[in-house]
Amino acid sequence: MKKIAVLTRDCAGVNAAIRSIVRTACHNSLEVVGIRRGYDGIIENDFITLNRTDVSGIINQGGTILKTSRSKKMFTQDGQKKAVENLQKNNIKGLIVIGGSGSLVGAHILASKYGINVVGIPATIDNDINNVDLTLGADTAVNVALDALDKIRDTATSLERIFIVEVMGRYCGYIALEVALAGGCEEVLVPELDVDIDILCKEIEEGKKKGKASWIIIVAEGKAHAHNIAEIITNKTGFETRVAVLGHIQRGGRPTSKDRIIGARLGNYAVECLIKNNSDICITEKNDKLIKIPLSVAIKKKDIDANRYYRLIKILT
């Protein structure tokens, strides 16, 4: 193996992983090519050489220095053929894909259908990759959301208000559950659980009678829109509500130490796996060990035990 390539999605910790890949490759006398703009970049031959100094000063930066895209072309036969052709033309012997479920599906296609050596690093704030405890970016996203929530709580408490805070999580309630528990919130609505809004409204009315003044309700974007929930609560209880939609601030920002360390460890391990000709795998940390999972398993739907946190959130309210 002489030359490897890396392509990414964006979230905190991705740059730390790119840095680790490039420096581990240099350590093993391999060349590294960065593919710009994700899968669109492979298809359009948008490749750059990455040297040791190109990754200086990026460990603390969010996003991805390689830029990214949500590529539609990669999921067409023509796009895949072009991608394989460009990898071969550039003499690339191994590919590291850093991203969420969509990116890992693309990685699995390249490995299983076209015989490219591919290693996936799970990176998404949603933390929805099967058999992976913690994806790159998720820890930073939770901490960014928590920081915002703590600020919202100051106003909620001062003005005795009900706040509905919407966090990201397209199909998964991971961020919502973490933030609700860590932020001491009264309620959390996630795709994995059915919460009866009538009961929630009764709880609010009862609470108000007993002198409970402010409420913070977290909603995962994959469950409902915060504005709709706010309207229902106001209509049913007569109480004023306020809404905050945190949105993309959760995907950016300075990576936490945890995300930098996961990025560093997985970037290094990905290169080692390619050197050993391991392919069609996703790598992750479990019980402090680095392990390999078949990409075919990683791309299956992840079941999260939402009840474990939900029970506790309600007991601690």
- Binding stretches for ligand F6P (CB under 6 A): 70, 100, 124-126, 168-170, 221, 251
Q: What share of the chain is helix, strand, coil (3-state, %, to 5)?
A: 45, 20, 35
> CB 221 → ligand F6P: shortest distance, Å?
6
Strand-strand pairing, 3-8 and 281-286:
unpaired
Helix (H, G, I), strand (E, B) or coil at 57: coil
Q: Which is nearer to ligand F6P, 4 or 168 (CB)?
A: 168
**CA-CA distance, 37 to 68, in Å (whole number)?**
4
Tokens coding 122: 């799970």
> CB 105 → ligand F6P: shortest distance, Å?
13
**CA-CA distance, 25 to 28, in Å (whole number)?**
5
Q: Which is nearer to ligand F6P, 168 or 270 (CB)?
A: 168
In the numeric block, the tokens 């973490």 are attached to 178
Q: Which is nearer to ligand F6P, 19 or 223 (CB)?
A: 223
Q: Tell me if 43 sits within 8 A of 82, measured CB to CB.
A: yes
> CB 51 → ligand F6P: shortest distance, Å?
30
Burial class of 225 by CB neighbour count within 10 A (0 to 12, 13 to 18, 19+): middle
Q: Which is nearer to ligand F6P, 70 or 254 (CB)?
A: 70
Catalytic status, residue 133? no
Interacting residues of 164 by C-beta distance below 8 A, sequence separation 6+: 217, 219, 226, 227, 229, 230, 233, 241, 242, 243, 244
Q: Which is nearer to ligand F6P, 100 or 120 (CB)?
A: 100
Question: Catalytic pick from 126, 128, 259, 280?
Answer: 126
Tokens coding 37: 């703009």
Q: Which is nearer to ligand F6P, 3 or 170 (CB)?
A: 170
Q: What is the DSSP letter of 255?
A: P
Q: What is the DSSP letter of 254?
A: P
> CB 38 → ligand F6P: shortest distance, Å?
11
Distance of CA 112 to the CA centre of its chain: 24
> CB 174 → ligand F6P: shortest distance, Å?
9
Among candidate residues 135, 172, 173, the one with its CA nearest the CA of residue 11: 135
> CB 103 → ligand F6P: shortest distance, Å?
10
Among candidate residues 86, 216, 206, 112, the one with its CA nearest the CA of residue 164: 216
Active-site positions read: 126
